[in-house]
Amino acid sequence: MGERKIIQVEDKVPFNLLVPLSIQHMFAMFGASVLVPFLFGINPAIVLLMNGVGTLLFIVITKGKAPAYLGSSFAFLSPALLVIERFGYAYALGGFVVLGIGGMIVALIIRKCGTKWIDIVLPTAAMGPVVALIGLELAGNAADTAGLLAEKVDIRNVIVFLVTLGVAVFGQILFRGFLSVIPILIAIIAGYLAAAACGILEFDAVREAAFFALPNFQTPKFHVEAILTILPALLLVTSEHIGHQIVTGKIVGRDLLKDPGLHRSLFADFFSTTLSGLCGSVPTTTYGENIGVMAVTKVYSVQVIGGAAVLSICCSFFGKLAALISTIPGPVIGGISFLLYGMIGTSGLRMLVDGKVDYSKSRNLTLTSVVFVVGLSRIALNLGDVQLTGMVLACIVAMGLSLVFYVLDRLKLTNDRDEE
pLDDT in tens, 15-56: 877 888 788 777 767 666 777 887 888 888 899 999 999 999
Quick one: DSSP state of residue 383? E
- What is the total count of domains within the chain? 1
When pLDDT is averaged across residues 8-12 and rounded to a whole number, the result is 82
Specify if 73 maps to a domain.
yes
Question: Could you tell me which residues come within 8 angstroms of residue 258 by beta carbon, excluding any fewer than 6 positions away?
Answer: none
Number of Cβ atoms within 10 Å of the Cβ of 61: 17
Does position 2 have pLDDT exceeding 50, yes or no? no
pLDDT the model gives residue 31: 63
Q: CA 309 to CA 324: how far, in whole Å?
A: 20
Average pLDDT taken over every residue of the chain: 85
When pLDDT is averaged across residues 123-146 and rounded to a whole number, the result is 83
Q: What is the pLDDT of residues 373-412, one digit of tens each?
A: 998 888 888 776 667 778 888 888 888 999 999 999 888 8
When pLDDT is averaged across residues 243-248 and rounded to a whole number, the result is 81
Specify if 204 maps to a domain.
yes
| pLDDT, greater one: 320 or 344 | 320
Quick one: DSSP state of residue 7? B
Specify if 26 maps to a domain.
yes
pTM over 0.85: no
Q: CA 291 to CA 18: how far, in whole Å?
A: 17
Helices (H) and strands (E) in the chain, counts: 19, 4
Question: Could you tell me which residues come within 8 angstroms of residue 331 by beta carbon, excluding any fewer than 6 positions away?
Answer: 146, 147, 156, 157, 158, 160, 161, 164, 191, 195, 200
Does position 88 have pLDDT exceeding 90, yes or no? yes
Q: What is the pLDDT of residues 52-78, one digit of tens each?
A: 999 999 999 999 988 888 888 777 888
Q: CA 200 to CA 41: how far, in whole Å?
A: 19
Does position 301 have pLDDT exceeding 70, yes or no? yes
Q: CA 54 to CA 271: how far, in whole Å?
A: 8
Specify if 1 maps to a domain.
no
pLDDT the model gives residue 72: 83
Does position 277 have pLDDT exceeding 80, yes or no? yes
When pLDDT is averaged across residues 268-273 and rounded to a whole number, the result is 95
Specify if 9 maps to a domain.
no
Does position 268 have pLDDT exceeding 90, yes or no? yes
Specify if 60 maps to a domain.
yes
Specify if 2 maps to a domain.
no
pLDDT the model gives residue 289: 65
In which element (H, E) is residue 388 found?
strand 386-389
Range of the domain at 313: 15-411
Q: Which amino acid is at 300?
A: Y
Does position 1 have pLDDT exceeding 60, yes or no? no
Specify if 333 maps to a domain.
yes
Does position 6 have pLDDT exceeding 60, yes or no? yes
Number of Cβ atoms within 10 Å of the Cβ of 419: 10
pLDDT the model gives residue 142: 80
When pLDDT is averaged across residues 299-326 and rounded to a whole number, the result is 86
- Stretch among 150-164, 251-265, 291-305 having the lowest mean pLDDT: 291-305
